[in-house]
């Protein structure tokens, strides 16, 4: 137990150490990596500067909120410019501020990617620098209190004189005695911390000198010195510890640069050997990015809660609804904040998937699939809709709409969980009735809840592009559930039949083709809906790119795959019809079973190599290859080049179950993102298993 606690503590410490760089990046993004409009206005009013018309045009261009940008730029690049020094100062200040913010983001990102030991060294150095500035500010405030006390005092010329004359009551009640005592204790703690961090100077005299540089200003303030000297004492005594900090940075500057360069070389070598994706995955796991982002977002929200509680402490009336609303709006105001919210949503969706796995009594093999895909979907939706650039009211509305779209995607993910289970239960003669009931209950939920959601949304909102997208996704999941239930019913009926059902494959193909056709039609509707948003509502490069992806994968690839499947089935039927049908006399003399499905043959087709198979089984075999399952002779010679048999490796029909199981999560998420994989047709699991057994037996006979 003690070992487990230590492991958990060290794990949490490694996560916490990587959170501060994210706060730095978040703050730099919050100020916009430049001079905001309020700061420009503040500078102009604070210094009493009069801004001319040309200068105001420059300021509007810098702030990015000009109503007539072309006019401002024409003013800026006029034929006879008359700029004052203020204009150039603003431009230089903006450029420098932007450059410093970019350098700060790069430094914070490099710090974030350091190893844990290196992070500890960086933080210790920053703490030592912080102690110097804290010591200086504390000494300055103490000296100001002493000077103001001496100015207001009529008799005596120093604090030490009051101490020698035992005027403690006056010194501590009306004077700076308490401030001096607190400062002395605080400076002693800072001196001990600084000396503990900088163990480099082993000389005890230098260690004592460092401690004295923190404590002596408190004691010097007691002596009768000129006030001009007392104001400069904190500066003089801060020079030594600050010089040591700078000397450490100078001495180890080469090592710091070497560490960064070695990291760059290792990353470049890793990319050349394994690729960029492998590097991203390895660093993602090493840095524990999801946990760090979750911790960052929780601490960020906690900071805002504390600030809101302190600001509303005197009111006594705290509106929790407005508080939650404010937290949600502020929780996605920057890209880093959106990343943190994405990690929280990933965990929530992961637990939703785990709950449905528990309900269906199946193992969660890919534990983070739903959470990962949901997180990617939410972040792309945030970028696509420009969530961080909206004002607070519109941002909250857009966030709620994105979450609604995300929840419809979760319904598709739940269908992808229950669909393989339905197919397995229907074809395996599973007597466990409670498993059938659980799966059907989840299907009922996937039908009832989207209908209730649509009725709720239609009763409160008018028609819009967002509502149209939600309707399409909700109706699509209902159609997919009905398709799954129909195929489940057919497989269940076929499993309890005594005779072989030749028409099963045709019925499954018809039902699945209907479902794919509905999804294709919905894809066209979503394409035109996105085109309307791009042109008339909210355009952007990300939305245009996602529309291109959607048009290629969801429309073109879907249509091409569906047409290819249709033509393969058509050619297979033509090939089967060209083969002679066995007579009852031939079947009675043969007295054998089909070598593909191991079922008795009431009807059969005879190949050119004089082998007997079911017509339906042979047609399915022709989807795989154009050779006999037993002797591997070519069964059908094609004269028309357009009707050439597919390659032996192209199994599009019987691989449908596997593709639907492993590809549906990716396909449904891509349907919302513009990247939906085609769902090929598949046959009964029992027939697929029989086909596989026939192939194995053929290999053994050869």
Query: From CA 523, how far away is CA 521, in angstroms rounded?
Result: 5
478 pLDDT band (50/70/90 cuts)?
very high
Instruction: List 581's β-bridge partners, or say none.
Output: 605
pLDDT of residue 493: 86
Would you tell me how many other CB atoms lie within 10 Å of the CB of residue 128?
A: 21
Confidence label for 302 from pLDDT (cuts 50, 70 and 90): very high
Mean pLDDT of 196-217: 76
pLDDT band at 476 (very low <50, low <70, confident <90, very high): very high
The answer, yes or no, to whether residue 700 has pLDDT greater than 60, is: no
Q: How far apart are CA 622 and CA 570, in angstroms?
A: 11
| Residue 365 pLDDT class (50, 70, 90 cuts) | low
CA dist 678 and 552 (Å) reads: 12
Copy the structure tokens of residue 596.
């593909």
**What's the confidence (pLDDT) of residue 83?**
46
- For residues 469 and 316, the model is more confident at 469
Strand 605-606 and strand 612-613: pairing? antiparallel
* 498 three-state secondary structure: coil
User: Considering only CA atoms, which of 533, 419, 556 is closest in space to residue 484?
Assistant: 419
Q: What's the length of the chain?
A: 702
**689 and 617 Cβ atoms separated by less than 8 Å:** no
Per-residue pLDDT tens digits for 41-88: 444 444 344 444 444 444 454 444 444 444 444 444 444 444 455 567
pLDDT at residue 367 greater than cutoff 70: no
Q: What percent of the chain has pLDDT over 70?
A: 78
For residue 530, pLDDT beyond 50: yes
Residue 702: predicted pLDDT:
33
Overall average pLDDT of the 247-270 stretch: 86
Residue showing tokens 């290819």: 564
The mean pLDDT value for 309-320 works out to: 70
Does residue 666 carry a pLDDT above 90?
no
d(CA 314, CA 261): 54
CA atoms of 413 and 373, how far apart (whole Å):
9
pLDDT average, residue stretch 486-513 = 84
How far is C-alpha 610 from the chain's CA centre? 60
The pLDDT value recorded for residue 642 is 40
pLDDT class for 344, splitting at 50, 70, 90? very high
Residue 173 has pLDDT above 80, yes or no: no
**432 pLDDT tier (thresholds 50, 70, 90):** confident
Q: How far, in Å, CA of 584 to CA of 587, rounded? A: 5
Please report where in the chains the tokens 């239609």 appear, as a residue: 458
* Residue 317: per-residue pLDDT: 63
Helix (H) or strand (E) holding 613: strand 612-613
3-state secondary structure of 109: helix
Residue pair 62/40 in contact by the 8 Å Cβ criterion: yes
pLDDT at residue number 691:
39
In the predicted structure, residue 405 carries a pLDDT above the cut 60: yes
Query: Are 139 and 237 within 8 A, CB to CB?
Result: yes
Residues forming a β-bridge with 612: 606
In the prediction, which pLDDT does 636 show? 62
Dihedral of alpha carbons 481, 486, 491, 497, sign: positive
pLDDT at 511: 92
Is the pLDDT confidence value at 659 over 70? Answer: no
Return the SS3 of 172: helix
Give the pLDDT of residue 289: 92
Confidence of residue 295 (pLDDT cuts 50, 70, 90): very high
Residues 611 and 593 sit within 8 Å (Cβ to Cβ): no
Question: Mean pLDDT highest for which of 181-190, 221-230, 532-541, 559-568?
Answer: 181-190
pLDDT of residue 241: 87
Helix axis angle, 335-360 to 19-30, nearest 10° = 120
Read off the DSSP letter of residue 11: H
Q: What angle do CA 393, 396, 399 make, to 5 degrees?
A: 145
Q: Which residues make Cβ contacts (< 8 Å) with residue 15, sequence separation at least 6? A: 288, 291, 292, 295
Percentage of the chain with pLDDT > 90?
Answer: 20
Angle of CA points 546, 550, 556, to nearest 5°: 145
Can you tell me the mean pLDDT for 210-219? 84
Q: Using an 8 Å Cβ cutoff, are 530 and 550 in contact? A: yes
Report the pLDDT averaged over residues 371-379. 90
Characterize 539-548 residue by residue with b for buried, 16 or more Cβ atoms within 10 angstroms of its Cβ, and e for exposed: eeeebeebbe
Name which residue leads in pLDDT, 312 or 524: 524
Comparing 72-81, 114-123, 267-276, 292-301, which segment has the lowest mean pLDDT? 72-81
| Cβ pair 661, 422 in contact under 8 A | no
CA–CA distance, 502 with 687 (Å, rounded to integer): 11
Q: Is the pLDDT of residue 637 over 60?
A: no
For residues 324-349, b (16+ Cβ closer than 10 Å) or e, as one string? eebebbbbbbbbbbbbbbbbbbbbeb
Q: How far apart are CA 569 and CA 623, in angstroms?
A: 7
Mean pLDDT within 416-428: 87
- Strands of 265-331, DSSP E: none
Q: What would the two tokens of residue 369 be? A: 């699939």
Q: What is the pLDDT of residue 484?
A: 94
Query: Around 491, how many Cα atoms within 13 Å sit in the side-chain half-sphere?
Result: 28
CA-CA distances (angstroms) from residue 278 to 268, 270, 494?
Answer: 12, 8, 46
pLDDT at 486 over 90: yes
pLDDT confidence band for 623 (50 / 70 / 90): confident
**What pTM value is reported for the model?**
0.73
Residue 569 has pLDDT above 80, yes or no: no
Contact by Cβ (8 Å): 180, 201: no
d(Cα 213, Cα 238) in Å, to the nearest integer? 7
Q: Could you tell me the end-to-end alpha-carbon distance of the chain, in angstroms, rounded to an integer?
A: 60
Nearest residue to 179 via CA among 237, 218, 230, 132: 218
Model confidence at 640: pLDDT above 80? no
Select from 651, 594, 602 the least CA-distant residue to 622: 651
Mean pLDDT, the chain, whole residue set? 78
Please compute the mean of the pLDDT values over residues 95-101 and round it to a whole number. Answer: 87
What pLDDT is recorded for position 34?
60
Instruction: Give the pLDDT score at 439.
Output: 93
- Answer whether 469's CB lies under 8 Å from 404's CB: no
Q: Return the closest-CA partner of residue 39 out of 88, 97, 85.
A: 97
Q: Please, are residues 621 and 627 in contact by the beta-carbon 8 Å criterion?
A: no
**Using 50, 70 and 90 to split pLDDT, how confident is the model at 438?**
very high
d(CA 71, CA 648): 67
Beta-bridge mates of residue 613: 605
User: 150: closest CA among 235, 228, 237?
Assistant: 228
pLDDT bin (cut points 50, 70, 90) of residue 604 is confident
Which whole number is the average pLDDT over 103-113?
A: 90
Q: Quickly state the pLDDT bin for 361 (edges 50, 70, 90).
A: confident
The reported pLDDT for the residue numbered 448 is 96
State residue 154's pLDDT score. Answer: 60
- What's the pLDDT at 646? 39
- Residue the block writes with tokens 């979760």: 410
**Tens digit of each residue's pLDDT (9 = 90 or more) over 125-142:** 899 899 999 999 998 888
Of 537, 539, 558, 552, nearest to 673 by C-alpha is: 552
**Distance separating alpha carbons of residues 95 and 87, to the nearest angstrom:** 13
What six digits make up the tokens of 192? 């001990």
pLDDT value of residue 368: 58
How many other CB atoms are found less than 10 A from the CB of residue 148? 12
Torsion (CA) 401, 402, 408, 410 in degrees, nearest 10:
-150
Which pLDDT score, from 0 to 100, does residue 315 have?
A: 58
Cβ–Cβ under 8 Å, residues 618 and 601: no
| Per-position DSSP letters for 428-494, written without gaps between them | TT---HHHHHHHHHHHHHHHHHHHHHHHHHHHH----HHHHHHHHHHHHHHHHHHHHHHHHHHHHHH
């Amino acid at each position: 137990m003690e070992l487990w606690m230590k492991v958990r503590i060290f794990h949490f410490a490694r996560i916490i150490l990587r959170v501060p760089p994210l706060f730095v990046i978040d703050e730099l993004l919050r100020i916009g990596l430049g001079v905001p409009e309020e700061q420009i206005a503040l500078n102009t009013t604070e210094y009493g500067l009069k801004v001319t018309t040309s200068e105001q045009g420059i300021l509007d261009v810098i702030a990015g909120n000009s109503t007539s940008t072309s006019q401002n730029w024409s003013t800026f690049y006029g034929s006879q410019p008359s700029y004052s020094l203020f204009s150039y100062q603003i431009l230089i200040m903006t450029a420098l501020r932007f450059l410093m913010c970019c350098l700060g983001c790069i430094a914070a990102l490099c710090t974030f990617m350091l190893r844990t030991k290196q992070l500890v060294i960086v933080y210790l150095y920053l703490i030592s620098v912080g102690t110097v500035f804290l010591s200086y500010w504390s000494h300055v405030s103490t000296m100001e209190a002493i000077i103001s006390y001496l100015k207001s005092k009529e008799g005596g010329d120093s604090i030490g004189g009051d101490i020698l004359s035992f005027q403690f009551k006056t010194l501590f009640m009306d004077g700076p005695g308490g401030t001096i005592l607190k400062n002395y204790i605080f400076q002693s703690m800072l001196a001990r911390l600084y000396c503990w961090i900088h163990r480099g100077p082993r000389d005890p005299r230098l260690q004592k000198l460092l401690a004295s540089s923190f404590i002596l200003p408190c004691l010097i303030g007691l002596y009768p010195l000129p006030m001009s000297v007392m104001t400069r004492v904190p500066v003089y005594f801060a020079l030594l510890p600050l010089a040591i900090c700078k000397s450490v940075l100078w001495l180890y500057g080469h090592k710091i640069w070497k560490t960064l360069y070695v990291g760059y070389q290792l990353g470049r070598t890793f990319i050349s050997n394994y690729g960029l994706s492998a590097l991203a995955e390895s660093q993602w796991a090493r840095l524990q990015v999801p946990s760090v982002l979750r911790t960052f977002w929780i601490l960020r929200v906690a900071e805002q809660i504390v600030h809101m509680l302190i600001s509303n402490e005197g009111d006594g009336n705290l509106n929790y609804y407005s508080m939650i609303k404010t937290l949600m709006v502020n929780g996605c105001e920057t890209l880093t904040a959106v990343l943190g919210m994405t990690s929280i949503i990933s965990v929530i969706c992961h637990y939703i998937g785990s709950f449905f796995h528990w309900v269906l009594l199946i193992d969660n093999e890919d534990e983070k699939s739903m959470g990962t895909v949901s997180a990617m979907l939410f972040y792309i939706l945030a970028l696509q809709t420009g969530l961080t650039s909206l004002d607070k009211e519109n941002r909250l509305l857009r966030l709620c709409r994105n979450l609604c779209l995300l929840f419809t995607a979760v319904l598709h993910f739940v269908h992808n969980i229950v669909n393989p289970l339905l197919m397995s239960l229907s074809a395996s003669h599973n007597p466990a009735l409670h498993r059938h009931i659980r799966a059907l209950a989840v299907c009922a939920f996937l039908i009832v809840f989207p209908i209730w959601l649509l009725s709720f949304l239609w009763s409160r909102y008018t028609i819009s592009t967002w509502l149209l997208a939600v309707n399409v996704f909700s109706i699509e999941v209902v159609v997919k559930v009905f398709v799954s239930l129909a195929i489940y019913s057919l497989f269940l009926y076929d499993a309890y039949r005594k005779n072989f059902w030749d028409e099963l494959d045709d019925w499954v193909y018809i039902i699945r083709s209907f479902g794919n056709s509905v999804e294709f039609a919905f894809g066209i509707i979503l394409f035109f809906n996105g085109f309307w948003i791009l042109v008339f509502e909210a355009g952007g490069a990300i939305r245009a790119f996602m529309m291109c992806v959607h048009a290629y994968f969801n429309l073109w690839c879907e249509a091409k795959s569906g047409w290819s499947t249709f033509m393969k089935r058509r050619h297979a039927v033509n090939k089967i019809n060209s083969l002679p049908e066995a007579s009852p006399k031939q079947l009675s003399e043969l007295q054998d079973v089909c070598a593909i499905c191991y079922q008795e043959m009431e009807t059969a087709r005879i190949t050119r190599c004089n082998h007997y198979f079911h017509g339906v089984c042979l047609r399915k075999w022709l989807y795989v290859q154009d050779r006999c399952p037993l002797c591997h002779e070519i069964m059908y010679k094609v004269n028309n080049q357009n009707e050439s048999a597919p390659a032996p490796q192209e199994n599009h029909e019987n691989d449908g179950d596997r593709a639907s199981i492993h590809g549906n999560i990716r396909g449904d998420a891509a349907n919302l993102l513009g990247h939906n994989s085609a769902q090929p047709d598949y046959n009964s699991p029992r027939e697929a298993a029989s086909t596989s057994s026939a192939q194995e037996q053929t290999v053994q006979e050869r």
